[in-house]
Structure 1
Amino acid sequence: MEDLKTNITLDFLRISNLLSRYGSKMVADVGLKSIQQWVILRTIINRGEISIGELKEEMLVTKQNMTGMINRLQKSNLVTLFQDSEDKRRTRVKITDEGHRVYEQLKSLRNDFNSKTYHIYNDQEILVLSDLLNRLIGHLKEE
């Protein structure tokens, strides 16, 4: 069983490398510099607006790394920063019209990729896979 667990871990690393390769191509096609920028845009779109601290927690990176990534997105006119109305020490981020445009381009590429990638699973298997992965991520975040 230990060998199987090790193989699963190594498979995750291989999958990560493959997904990074495909993801890097997709983001480059719409002018983004990294997959992380895509994840940040998606998170902001899903939340409406978010603090840099909340983004940092969501992305599992340091505040310095998050600040750098947000600054690059701001220079590209994909996000805008503003002061939190309730806590002046907190900086919040929201997406710009240009950010929405870029994200919409990515959605089309992502949907094509998802169709090609996940057609080997039926809907029930996709639900089970999603649940298993989310449980593992939650567990690893607690470690």
Structure 2
Amino acid sequence: MTLAPSDMLCFALHSTAHAVHAAYAPLLQPLGLTYPQYLVLSALAARDGQSVSEIGADLRLESNTLTPLLKRMESAGWVTRRRDSRDERQVRVSLTEDGHNLADRTAGIPRAFAERTGLTLDQVIDLRDVLAVLRDRLKPAKP
């Protein structure tokens, strides 16, 4: 028996991911941010000075995706990239003053997005946790 896309879990996840990106666009566009840039900015606001590989592991992005993104963010003046003085193979990424200011301006975005879902805070947390379990079962993070 062949299932219609609307009956498939994969399609529900795929179409929801597109809807999530679309819902974030009006929140991020006034700040000049794309969704991937917002994720990097949030990761650095939570823990500044991470290596490119640490950011990639946290966001589950390969370096060939992350490096051009970081270069654009550096060109915009939001981050700096520097070789680690203890390990030249590692590149450390830090927020600039403008990057910190931009991160401060994004502080209300998670709440605005959560409100847009129409879910309660407990439902948002439960859904996030279920999706994280599913993600980790399907593709564990790289060590």
TM-score bracket relative to the smaller structure: 0.7 to 0.9
Structure 1: stretches of 5+ with no match in the other structure: none
The question of 1:121 aligning with 2:120 is answered yes
Contact 2:24 2:113 in 1 (8 A): no
| Alignment match, 2:40 | 40
The alignment partner of 1:142 has SS state of: coil
Structure 1 position 122, deviation (Å): 5.5
Cα RMSD of the aligned pairs, angstroms, is 2.5
Structure 1 residue 80: deviation in Å? 1.0
Alpha-carbon distance in structure 1 between the residues aligned to 2:109 and 2:133: 27
* Equivalent in the alignment of 1:112: 112
| Residues 89/15 of structure 1: CA separation in 2 closer, same or farther (3 Å cut) | same
**In the alignment, is the contact (CA less than 8 A) between 2:114 and 2:124 conserved in 1?**
no
TM-score, normalising length from structure 2? Answer: 0.82
- Would the alpha carbon gap of residues 131 and 59 (structure 1) be closer, same or farther in structure 2, given more than 3 Å must change? closer
How many residue pairs get aligned? The number is 139
TM-score by length of 1: 0.82
Q: Distance in 1 between matches of 2:124 and 2:31?
A: 27
- 1:10 corresponds to which residue? 11
Q: Give the Cα separation in 2 of the matches to 1:120 and 1:68.
A: 35
CA deviation digits over 1:97-134, x for unaligned, max 9?
211221222222332222232x43362x3333222111
**Residues 53 and 63 of structure 2 are in contact (CA less than 8 Å); yes or no, is this contact kept in structure 1?**
yes
Q: Percent identity?
A: 21
Gaps of 5+ in 2: none
Q: Aligned-pair distance for 1:14? A: 1.7
